[in-house]
A and B are shown apart, each in its own frame.
Chain A
C-alpha cells in the first residue's frame, strides 16, 4: 500500500520568513495530493491540493510543488504569520476508480514566532 513520509516533524520560523514542508510517497499510482492544516483542538482543513497532471499550484501565500519522477511534493508558505502556526499534514491518494482513501504523513508542527 501507499506510504507517505513527511519532514520535518517540527519547524520554527520567524514571522515573515518562508516555511517548507516536504513529503515523499511510495505508490506511483497516486495522483492526488492534498495538504491539511489542523489547529489545536480543531478539525483538519484543506488548504491546497494538487493533481499529478500539474507540477505546481499557488494560492496567495501558499504553494505546492510536485515531482512525480522523484515521488515527492512540498508545501511552501511565504511571509509566514502567527496564524499559520498549526500542524500541517500532507496526504496522497489514487483517485482512479470508484473508491479511494487518503494516506497521511505524520504531520509537521509549524510555529511562527514574532
Chain B
C-alpha cells in the first residue's frame, strides 16, 4: 500500500510569508503527527491529530498550526515565517496509539522548507 505522502517536497519562502504543508497518511491510518527536523535541534514534535482533533501539542509558538480532515489528510500552517523556521518538516502516521495493536509510526519523506 502507498506510504505517507507529503507535498510539496521543497519550498522556498520569504520571511513574513505563510506556508501550508500537506500530509496524506497511509490508508486506514487515523493518527497524523508532525515533526520538525533541524541539524541543531534534531527531531521535535509539533502536534498530533486523531479523527480531526488535535490531541497533543509540542512547544512551538502559535504561528505553527494544523488541522486534519475527515479523510485523515492533514495540513500544517506556519504564519509569519522566520529564518529559523527553515527545516525539514516530517509527517508520521499510525493506526493505533495504544496497546499491542500499535505498529509504530511511519514517516513521510518530508517537506524541506527554506526561509530566505
Which residues does A use to contact B, with CB under 8 Å?
32, 34, 36, 42-46, 49, 89, 91, 95-107
Contact = CB atoms under 8 A, between A and B. Distances in A.
B98 A98 contact: yes
6 contacts: A46-B104, A49-B104, A99-B48, A100-B97, A100-B98, A106-B42
A106 B109 CA distance: 19
B43 A104 contact: yes
Interface SS, A side: loop
Interface residues of B, number: 24
Interface SS, B side: strand
B25 interface: no
Which of A42, A43, A45, A89 has the most chain B CB atoms closer than 10 A to its own CB? Answer: A43
Interface of B: 33, 35, 42-45, 48, 50, 55-56, 58, 90, 92, 97-99, 102, 104-110
A75 to B, nearest CB: 15
Nearest to A106: B42
B97 A98 contact: yes
B22 to A, nearest CB: 16
